[in-house]
Chain A
Amino acid sequence: MKIVVAIIKPHKLDEVKAALEAFGVQGLTVSEASGYGRQRGHTEVYRGAEYTVDLVPKVRVEVLVDDADAADVVEVIVKSAQTGRIGDGKVWTVPVDDVVRVRTGEHGVDAL
């Protein structure tokens, strides 16, 4: 199994969610995140004093998937989150040893 982690622009969340649902993903976890990539932050000016804001708000989406689906899920997220402009985010996958469904105690792929 793998966990697919995506950092995306907050306004793309609905599209990503819909695309994943259409693909057949049963569940996901979303959290608010902040950070920067190559685009760095942005500048704000208060009473003439300039501040560079390094960390920009992003949304972190996490999906647990079967190994076979991982590449497709990454593809679905990239397609639905893409605007083509700087700051679109990143997607990566991480191997997962085990998953347990808390309600039933099922392990592995059965718990997805």
Chain B
Amino acid sequence: MVSTVAFLSFAAKPDTGDTAWVLASAALVLLMTPGLAFFYGGMVRGKNVLNMLMMNFITMGLVGVLWVIVGYTLAFGDGGALVGDLNHWKLNNTSGLSGTIPVLAFVMFQAMFAIITPALFTGSIADRIKFGPFLAIITVWSLLVYSPIAHWVWSPNGWLFKLGAEDFAGGTVVHANAGAAGLALAIVLGKRKGWPREPMRPHNLPFVLLGAGLLWFGWFGFNAGSALGAGRTAALAFTTTSTATSAAMLGWVLVEKIRDGHPTTLGAASGAVAGLVAITPACAFVTPFGSIFLGLLAGGVCALATGLKFRFGYDDALDVVGVHLVGGVLGALLIGFLGSKKAGGANGLLYGGGFTQLGKQAAAVGASVVYSFVATLVIALIVKAIFKGLRVSEEVEVEGLDINLHAETAYETLTGGSVRASVSAAAPKADAEVSA
């Protein structure tokens, strides 16, 4: 991501092309969160699908407000090496330009990143978390984990930015960060009842593919929009995002075909998302040809990484670790190998740049993952103490979260009986409606 210093010169006019692209990209990135909701929603069991969709949707509400009040300034306020100051709280002092676009366009583009990052780890906590503690965790996490790490990597004052670590669109800030947090939360929450003995099959694979399609579409805004302008860099990021994702899908399906015997739709969707994750930090630093290798590797490695939870016994329900932590770390490190000056980054190991960039990448992603994991662990334990437990009761877990936490069911077959309306004083009477 390029420098985000706000020039408070009111005389200067924004570049209309750049502004239009960043605003459109912000809308594309917002669409990724409902896309993610369906990607995850299809993978859970039918009795919990609404809870999964709701955790993602409510994040748009919660972080959408938090970001404007204080999240943005903690991430992008000048501040020091570790966190921003409160100069932009309530979006004060944001009427100028940031580069060639209005600061507000940048604020909203970044808002969508702040929203989807905590939404990503809803996959690891699926099927068992109470709604109140979930909201508390998201709120605190957004301010104490997301904003600081975004500051470290993307603010010109951040210590990882100054170190020279490259993260074009958020492999470290978004994906490795969310993956590490997902791992910490899965450990604190514990395994779902019956896991891994009982079958917990995806209840709607068409939803998963629909969600993956929306994610892919929105991701062009995520990556190419991170150029913060409509030029060559955006076009390169767009291209590598496309090629790496395609290649990763092939990589994942190939591993499945060899290992399990069948190419699956879940594998194709997962592979595409793994590719999107891995190309995110690298999309403007590698060549289109290099991005094919990056994608193939990401698809294959992430397909194998989803088996880790069975080996180590943590119930990361929908593979946030296998896809986002592993994919994000892989993408960040591959910049150290495949980075190319010709593309726009520093030369990596394979382009004659030696180990310098690889070292910076490892430091940045390592520090972010460790901080995210530890801070999330502490936040989860404190919230657990305050709410007297993070998990729903065993009865609720078995019966389903939808009916118990939201008083709704997604499908008619789950209502288990005839449905009857109970007329309350607040509801308009049927007769009145007819006569009206």
Give the number of residue pairs across the A-B interface with Cβ within 8 Å: 31
In residues 7-39 of chain A, which contact B (Cβ within 8 Å)? none
Partner of A48, one of B199, B201, B202, B306: B306
Contact assessment for B201 and A47 in the assembled complex, using a CB-CB cutoff below 8 Å: no
Closest-CB distance, B272 to chain A (whole angstroms): 14
Q: Given the complex of chains A and B, what is the CA–CA distance between A44 and B261 in angstroms?
A: 11
Closest-CB distance, A54 to chain B (whole angstroms): 9
Contact assessment for B310 and A47 in the assembled complex, using a CB-CB cutoff below 8 Å: no
Contact assessment for B262 and A51 in the assembled complex, using a CB-CB cutoff below 8 Å: no
Q: Does B157 contact A (CB under 8 A)?
A: no
Residues of B within 8 A of A44 (CB): 201
Contact assessment for B303 and A46 in the assembled complex, using a CB-CB cutoff below 8 Å: no
Q: Does A86 contact B (CB under 8 A)?
A: no
The contact string, 1 if C-beta is below 8 Å from chain B, for chain A 51-83, is 111000000000000000000000000000000
Contact assessment for B196 and A49 in the assembled complex, using a CB-CB cutoff below 8 Å: yes
Which residue of A is nearest B306, CB measured? A47
Contact assessment for A45 and B264 in the assembled complex, using a CB-CB cutoff below 8 Å: yes
Q: Given the complex of chains A and B, what is the CA–CA distance between A48 and B256 in angstroms?
A: 7
In residues 76-107 of chain A, which contact B (Cβ within 8 Å)? none
Q: Does B420 contact A (CB under 8 A)?
A: no
Question: Which range holds the interface residue count of chain B?
Answer: 10 to 19
Q: Does B388 contact A (CB under 8 A)?
A: no
Contact assessment for B264 and A52 in the assembled complex, using a CB-CB cutoff below 8 Å: no
Which residue of A is nearest B196, CB measured? A49
Total number of A residues with any Cβ neighbor in B under 8 Å:
10
Q: Does B246 contact A (CB under 8 A)?
A: no
Residues of B within 8 A of A47 (CB): 266-267, 270, 303, 306, 319, 322
Q: Given the complex of chains A and B, what is the CA–CA distance between A58 and B261 in angstroms?
A: 26
Q: Given the complex of chains A and B, what is the CA–CA distance between A10 and B196 in angstroms?
A: 31
Contact assessment for B262 and A45 in the assembled complex, using a CB-CB cutoff below 8 Å: yes
Residues of B within 8 A of A48 (CB): 256, 259-260, 303, 306-307
Residues of B within 8 A of A51 (CB): 199, 201
In residues 242-296 of chain B, which contact A (Cβ within 8 Å)? 256, 259-262, 264, 266-267, 270
Closest-CB distance, B194 to chain A (whole angstroms): 12
Partner of B264, one of A46, A50, A53: A46
Residues of A within 8 A of B201 (CB): 44, 46, 51, 53
Closest-CB distance, B286 to chain A (whole angstroms): 27
Contact assessment for B260 and A45 in the assembled complex, using a CB-CB cutoff below 8 Å: yes
Residues of A within 8 A of B261 (CB): 45
Closest-CB distance, B296 to chain A (whole angstroms): 18
Q: Please name the 5 residue pairs, one residue from A and one from B, whose CB atoms are nearest each other, closest first.
A: A51-B199, A45-B260, A47-B306, A48-B307, A46-B266
17 pairs of residues in contact across A and B, judged by CB atoms under 8 Å: A44-B201, A45-B260, A45-B261, A45-B262, A46-B264, A47-B266, A47-B267, A47-B319, A47-B322, A48-B256, A48-B259, A48-B260, A48-B306, A48-B307, A49-B196, A49-B310, A51-B201
